[in-house]
Amino acid sequence: MAEMTLLNRYLTASINQDLAEKIVFLGGPRQVGKTTLALSLLEGADESHPAYLNWDLYETQRMLLDGGLPADQSLLIFDEIHKYRHWRNLVKGFYDKFKSTKRFLITGSARLDHYRRGGDSLQGRYHYYRLHPFSLYELNNKPTRSDLSVLLRYGGFPEPFLKQNARHWKRWQRERQSRVIQEDLINLENVKEVSQLDLLVRMLPDKVSSILSLNKLKQDLSVAYETVDRWITILENLYYCFRISPYGLPRLRAVKKERKLYLWDWSLCGDESARFENLVASHLLKYCHFREDTEGSEMELRFVRDAIGRELDFVVVENDKPLFAVECKTGNRNLSRNIAYFSQRTDIPYYYQVHTEDRDYERAELKARVLPLTRFCELLKL
């Protein structure tokens, strides 16, 4: 089941369709499966296929800068080309010249919409997709508690998930973190304090699910507030972490500036509750990105917190209007008092309280349902 999913990711059909009319950008964290997805469009080819052009290889750089492209290839995959300062102008030239005969897929382990390097010369010529780790519904359209247990333990990145080996997971984590810091960050950002940024990365798993205090981080790292904020933004652009902002609700004294932090790889969280909440956050962000990238909807993942600390973990927002809220609990529990409170004072249409056990019931008068996360993901196809 998992191997089939790996070869046919949830974005494959949409990307294949869009390649017929525009360039496709495929971004996402390092080792999330971008190259595997791209090569699957070449009927399961490997990295030696002539249509796969990796910018990290000198011979590829020389050929592309000389204006050459492989012969007899209708689909071309440019991997990590965003590391070249003028990559957009280079791709634009190829696309404008060959768009009637060739299709172009650009992949990279950073936000390709951010690393423009001197302007967006490709405006109007591309569709952008963000590839996420495995989620419950992608693995199994009838997800089980066993699926959830494995996903919580090893994360949703293909290699450690498929191996399901603790020793391999630890080694993979160390190697991936080193490559994010030593390769991606140094290639793309002007950062001199690499050792301190590496320390920040090691500190972030303990900050997951709570309000992120940049003032506390600046003290721990002995740097300026603006420096910490810039470093976190860099890590967001490299798909290492993401922050969500509060959603201001009418008639409530809601927090407006504080943000919460989550990791793209929730398996790094040592605390069980934080890991579960991070997994739910990642599933909901994947839902928002999928709808944005395939439908063009304006989606946001937010949270709600009032002035005295009552909080809803997540609110999914479309076009500035709330669709539903989600509260996370690791075990069988009664409906959260916060859901009861906010349901009577806000215009959020519906509330879900998700957990890891079996209870499933609805409180219609509060527009709320308590249910297993597996069932929730099946309903929303997360």
- Over residues 78-94, the pLDDT tens digits come to 999 988 989 999 999 99
Mean pLDDT of 187-203: 86
Portion of the chain with pLDDT greater than 70, in percent: 94
In this model, does residue 254 exceed pLDDT 70? Answer: no
Mean pLDDT of 184-203: 85
Q: What is the 8-class DSSP label of residue 183?
A: I
- Residue 197 reports pLDDT greater than 50: yes
- Tell me the pLDDT band of 332, cut-offs 50, 70 and 90: confident
Quote the tokens at residue 89.
């102008």
AA identity, residue 107 = T
Q: What number is the average pLDDT over the span 286-309?
A: 95
Angstrom distance (rounded) from CA 128 to CA 135: 20
253 has a pLDDT exceeding 80: no
Rounded Cα–Cα distance for residues 80 and 38 (Å): 13
Cβ contacts of 237 within 8 Å, gap of 6 or more: 110, 111, 114, 115, 188
Tell me whether residue 320 is exposed, middle or buried, using C-beta atoms within 10 angstroms of its C-beta: 0 to 12, 13 to 18, 19 or more: exposed
pLDDT of residue 2: 43
| 6 pLDDT above the threshold of 80 | no
- Nearest-5° Cα angle at 97, 95 to 102: 55
Confidence band for 3, pLDDT divided at 50, 70 and 90 = very low
Average the pLDDT over 292-318 and give the result: 94
Q: What pLDDT, on a 0 to 100 scale, did the predictor assign at position 4?
A: 42
Element (H, E) at 93: helix 87-98
Helix axes 373-380, 145-154, angle to 10 degrees: 100
Q: Report, as an integer, the average pLDDT of 340-344.
A: 93
Q: Write the CB contacts of 36 (distance below 8 Å, at least 6 apart in sequence).
A: 6, 7, 9, 158
State the average pLDDT for the chain: 92
Pairing of strands 241-246, 126-130: unpaired
More confident residue, 192 or 319: 319
Please tell me the predicted confidence (pLDDT) of residue 148: 97
First vs last Cα of the chain: how many Å apart? 17
pLDDT digits (tens, 9 = 90+) for 364-379: 999 999 999 999 999 9
Q: 9-39, pLDDT tens digit by residue?
A: 999 999 999 999 999 999 999 999 999 999 9
Band of pLDDT at residue 185, cut at 50, 70 and 90:
confident
State the pTM of this model.
Answer: 0.94
Most confident residue range from 115-124, 161-170, 306-315: 161-170
- Give the confidence band of 119 by pLDDT, cuts at 50, 70, 90: low
pLDDT at 120: 60
DSSP 8-state assignment for residue 381? T
The per-residue pLDDT for 282 is: 98
Mean pLDDT value of segment 286-302 = 97
pLDDT of amino acid 257: 76
The answer to whether 204 touches 278, Cβ cutoff 8 Å, is no
Q: What is the pLDDT of residues 232-252, one digit of tens each?
A: 999 999 999 999 999 986 666
Count of CA atoms in the C-beta half-sphere (13 A) of 322: 22
pLDDT value of residue 266? 98
